[in-house]
Amino acid sequence: MHFTQLFVGFCSFLAVAASYGKPPPGIIKHDGKPIGKEVVYDGLTLYISQPKWPRQSDTAVLYLTDVFGIPLLQNRLLADSFARAGFLTITPDLFDGVPAPHDITFDAADFLSKHNVNVTDPIIEKTIEYIRTKLGVKRVAVTGYCFGGRYAFRFLAEGRGVDVGFAAHPSLLQDDEVLAIKGPASVAAAEVDSLLVPARRLEIEGLLSQAAQPFQVNLYSGTTHGFGVRANVSDPEQKFGKEEAFWQAVRWFNAW
């Protein structure tokens, strides 16, 4: 009896070790040519990355970008990385071809007012419709970055079509959006982030606890807002943060 228990426990340990072992090389790409393609569905442009091996057949990743959208090379490459990790990955154009410019003087308040929840929610709803009806996917995992991180939480609410979520350095996240989640949520936070300061991060941790869903909050040293997508990968600490945040999402999606 004791031997059987020991043997079963040892096998369980091996299974866990295999799941959390050293990630395979070549999954994450920081440069090069994107491998996905654009399709248009009911007037909405989608960037779609197809996995080559081995596809998680019942799961697709809904990738919600930062304000720089699908034109940003790093967003496309990160979506492609999820595909190489085995997930069919769909990234909607949240900004109708006009993302935020790479200009620190641009009017962020005006941009965000033009892309509020009344504008953005229908885009994501249409994308989920495409994923479930046109692609026949049974399970949707959402990954969101900065602007998209808030919507990762919004669509974890009941009846909104998402099963599990991850957000890196989410911005503008509201208390009620955290409390409303009905699926597991994982967060990757930057050490220095004016849009998610330490006090607010602690508040979100408390709200996640109240939401009574599985949750995870990881803090990455040496990182700043945007590291999940736009880290300076010549800096070892930032490169580690970006890559580990990616694997944090992958492990979360596989676990739940």
**Is 2 a catalytic site residue?**
no
| Strand, helix or coil for residue 118 | helix
**Is 146 a catalytic site residue?**
yes
DSSP result, 201-252: HHHHHHHHHHHTS-EEEEEEEEEETTHHHH--TTSHHHHHHHHHHHHHHHHH
Selecting among 146, 169, 175, 176, the annotated active-site residue is: 146
**Is 235 a catalytic site residue?**
no
Q: How far is CA 70 from CA 1, 92, 136, 162, in A?
A: 57, 7, 23, 21
Q: How far is CA 112 from CA 97, 119, 201, 212, in A?
A: 15, 10, 22, 30
DSSP assignment, residue 159? T
Selecting among 66, 115, 169, 225, the annotated active-site residue is: 225
In sequence order, the β-bridge partners of residue 186 are 166, 216
Selecting among 66, 80, 93, 193, the annotated active-site residue is: 193
Residues forming the active site: 146, 193, 225
